[in-house]
């Protein structure tokens, strides 16, 4: 299941063939694209003092609760450290995720989803060859089911939104697996969060653009 972003199939335009009156705006567009990419990378690395749309985390929180998941995490890629880092989490292990857990890009289902840009809804996580037990070992838990969805903003995949179910003790009755409706709920939340990020970054970009033009 792929959370696709439509690709622009239009030919690349060279500034050389544009009218002189349009060239400055074309150059501003290139500058803004580069600016948004740099800002998005900075956000993913945790270098911003605040979030452009922190209220968007409510969308993710509500989706995890609606899916009755045990833990939900938004992972964003740190392109310098080559790892995915949790920047939002809901569930009993949230403190550990936010303070201690990092997922190397070289291993794990979350990293696979990031690289392939394919969503997964997996009922038996431990049977997947890409499964890495390192995070479960840190949590003292065993993941049995997972939904993981690539997250896009600023024109590329920037991370993964995941929700999991843990194996329960014999004294507790828990949800056994995720439903397709859970996948749809989490996918929609991830898409809306991405759109909020793009909207906020575009707003900052317009301010930068007006400075460049002036």
Secondary structure of the chain in the HEC alphabet?
CECCCCCCCCCCCCHHHCCCCCHHHHHHHHHHHHHHHHHHHHHHCCCCCCCCCHHHHHHHHHHHHHCCCCEEEEEEEECCCCEEEEEEEEECCHHHHHHCCCEECCCCHHHHHHHHCECEEECCHHHCCCCCCHHHHHHCCCEEEEEEEEEEECCEEEEEEEEEEECCCCCCCCCCCCCHHHHHHHHHHHHHHHHHHHHHHHHHHHHHHHHHHC
Residue of 47 and 148 predicted with greater confidence:
148
Q: Within 13 Å and on the Cβ side, how many CA atoms surround 169? A: 3
Q: Which two tokens stand for residue 17?
A: 């063939």
Q: Which residue has tokens 């301010």?
A: 207
Give the tens place of pLDDT for each residue, 67-124: 999 999 999 999 999 999 999 999 999 999 999 999 999 999 999 999 999 999 999 9
Domain formed by 54-196, architecture: 2-Layer Sandwich (3.30)
Q: Which two tokens stand for residue 76?
A: 């964003």
Give the tens place of pLDDT for each residue, 152-191: 998 899 999 999 999 975 545 578 899 999 999 999 999 9
Q: What is the mean pLDDT of residues 181-210?
A: 82
pLDDT of residue 50: 65
């Amino acid at each position: 299941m792929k959370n696709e972003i439509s690709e622009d199939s239009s030919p690349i335009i060279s500034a050389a063939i544009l009218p002189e009156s349009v060239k400055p705006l074309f150059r501003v567009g290139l500058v803004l694209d580069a600016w948004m990419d740099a800002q998005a990378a900075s956000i993913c690395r945790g270098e911003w003092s605040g979030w452009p749309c922190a209220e968007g985390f409510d969308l993710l929180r509500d989706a995890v609760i609606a899916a009755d998941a045990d833990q939900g995490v938004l992972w964003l890629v740190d392109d310098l450290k080559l790892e995915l880092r949790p920047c939002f989490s809901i569930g009993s292990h949230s403190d550990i995720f936010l303070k201690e857990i990092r997922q190397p890009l070289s291993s794990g289902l979350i990293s696979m989803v990031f690289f392939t840009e394919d969503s997964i809804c997996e009922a038996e996580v431990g049977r997947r060859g890409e499964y890495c037990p390192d995070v479960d070992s840190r949590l003292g838990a065993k993941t049995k089911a997972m939904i993981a969805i690539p997250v896009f903003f600023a024109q590329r995949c920037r991370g993964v939104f995941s929700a999991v179910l843990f194996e329960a003790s014999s004294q507790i009755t828990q949800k056994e697996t995720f439903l397709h409706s859970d996948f749809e709920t989490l996918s929609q939340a991830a898409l809306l969060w991405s759109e909020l990020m793009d909207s906020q970054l575009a707003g900052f970009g317009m301010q930068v653009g007006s400075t460049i033009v002036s």
